[in-house]
Amino acid sequence: MFGELECACLENGGTAAEYIMVYEVAVLTWRLMRVECLRASIIRHHRPQAVLALIRRSDENGEPEQGSLAHARTGLEAMTYFASKDARQKVETKFAEAGYAEDAVEVEAYLQSQKAQAQIERETAAAQRQLLNFLKELERRSVKRAKQLREAALKAVKSATKAS
């Protein structure tokens, strides 16, 4: 990342202060990319709980009482969802019959991860503010170099977002 930013912004060399600025932009950009990857991982982490919640809500006998055999059975059924494609199809058919959309597991995982997502959102906002403030300072010092850094940083963040 630093090398790409350096080539884009300091192609004819630069001062020590400019190299430090480029380094700071690279660090802040990496932080944003890391946070975006973490956001996707958190949602994936909540998929098992999402499947379990949907199985319990879509049970034909209603949501089972905690500690009952039916409650334990739904836990085992949720585990089988991840065991094979056939089992996944069977459970997803059950969800469809209960009125859930095809993306019910992803939606439920997202909803269950809201607390963690809020923390990620705060971290993203803080990193974006830092990057924006730094780029504004750079712009004050050198309009051309700041524009090149902004474009390179945005390009890197967009490519990382697409990858996650």
Nearest to 21 by CA among 9, 33, 34, 4: 9
pLDDT band (50, 70, 90) for residue 48: very high
Identify whether residues 122 and 105 lie together within a single domain: no
- pTM of the entire structure? 0.64
Burial class (CB in 10 A: 0-12, 13-18, 19+), 133: exposed
Say what the pLDDT of residue 15 is. 66
Identify whether residues 83 and 127 lie together within a single domain: no
Q: How far apart are CA 82 and CA 60, in angstroms?
A: 21
Structural domain of 27? 2-43+115-163
Identify whether residues 78 and 36 lie together within a single domain: no
Q: How far apart are CA 30 and CA 35, in angstroms?
A: 9
Say what the pLDDT of residue 126 is. 87
Structural domains of the chain, count: 2
